[in-house]
Amino acid sequence: MTSEIEFVREPPAIVVDDVSMVYRVPTTQNGSGAGQGFLRSVRRLVGSGPTVDVRALKGISLVVGKGESVGIIGRNGSGKSTLMKLINGRVPPTSGAIYASSRPTLLGVGAALVPDISGEQNIMLGCLAMGMSKNQIAHAYTSIVELSGLESSIHLPMRTYSSGMGSRLQFAIATAVDPEILLIDEALNTGDDQFKGRTKQRMDELLAKAGCVLLVSHSVGTIKEMCSRVIWVDEGELVMDGDPTEVIKWYGTFIKHLTARDRVAAMKTKRRAMNDLVVPHLISRETGRRSIE
């Protein structure tokens, strides 16, 4: 495959520079015998005992330009959500660095909505937390409710909402202020065709204003429909980065082999995909730093 190299002429939205992430987690692996196993479990509960290092990300580098919509795919535990948290700035990487042209807005399954208050009150709190004034909230309120599709339920407590209803409200609130960088982590996998259409339209509006969107999803259909570029991450490594149709094809073959329990064929597919890695954007580390700062 012929790689196409495009040099960035304007400041990028996100630069991920050789980022690795290692978590230290407790383990009960050492020792033997039923009694030892019980003691290990007790130590783990109270925060003592042996630990192991888990490498969630291994030297990830990428550049996301303004106006791009980038999908991130991979198996459970591949490092997708960890990458999103690092880009959001929730936690620092173990090594490497991340630069962003503005503070990213993270929309995900863990986004803070208060279950004991109504959807209307959550809109108020969420918008205030994003720095909107009362006048701005009043002006945006109707469009937020319409985008969420919760007109008949907006006055009910959040605890009565389904996960899909909560996700729709999260998306509507998060996009009320035209964030320059929007990170979406597994929050758009539910909803009817009407909501998906409204979501796509809203994302197109954001991208037209030179924003960028990073979307993590297990739904390759959602990724293909909403993204202009796809990144495949597996076991903390960047496997492939390029055209959605091409990357999803390789990933689909990989998953097909794993489903058939043919790990040898799956690993061969992964290695071939890594050898055919497409890097749509190259930028020097020094240029990236100057651009972001």
Q: Which amino acid is at 190?
A: T
Tell me: the pLDDT tens digits for 117-170? 999 999 999 888 888 899 999 999 999 999 888 999 999 999 999 878 888 888
Quick one: which of 111, 65, 59, 101 has its CA closest to 83? 59
Q: Which CATH architecture has domain 6-17+64-104+179-292?
A: 3-Layer(aba) Sandwich (3.40)
Q: Residue 113: its pLDDT value, please?
A: 80
79 contact partners, CB below 8 Å, separation of at least 6: 21, 56, 57, 60, 233, 235, 236
Tell me: the pLDDT tens digits for 175-234? 888 788 988 887 665 555 667 777 778 878 877 776 898 999 888 888 888 899 999 999
User: Confidence class of residue 43 from pLDDT cuts 50, 70 and 90?
Assistant: low
Its pTM stands at 0.74
User: 3-class SS at 53?
Assistant: strand
Tell me: the pLDDT tens digits for 229-269? 999 999 999 999 999 999 999 999 999 999 999 999 999 99
For the chain, what are the domain ranges? 6-17+64-104+179-292, 109-178
Separation between Cα atoms, residue 69 and residue 203, nearest integer Å: 8
Q: Residue 285: its pLDDT value, please?
A: 39
Q: Are strands 212-216 and 181-185 parallel, antiparallel or unpaired?
A: parallel
User: Confidence class of residue 40 from pLDDT cuts 50, 70 and 90?
Assistant: low
Separation between Cα atoms, residue 174 and residue 172, nearest integer Å: 6
Report which DSSP code applies to 118: B
Tell me: the pLDDT tens digits for 49-98? 677 888 999 999 999 999 899 999 999 999 998 999 999 988 899 999 99
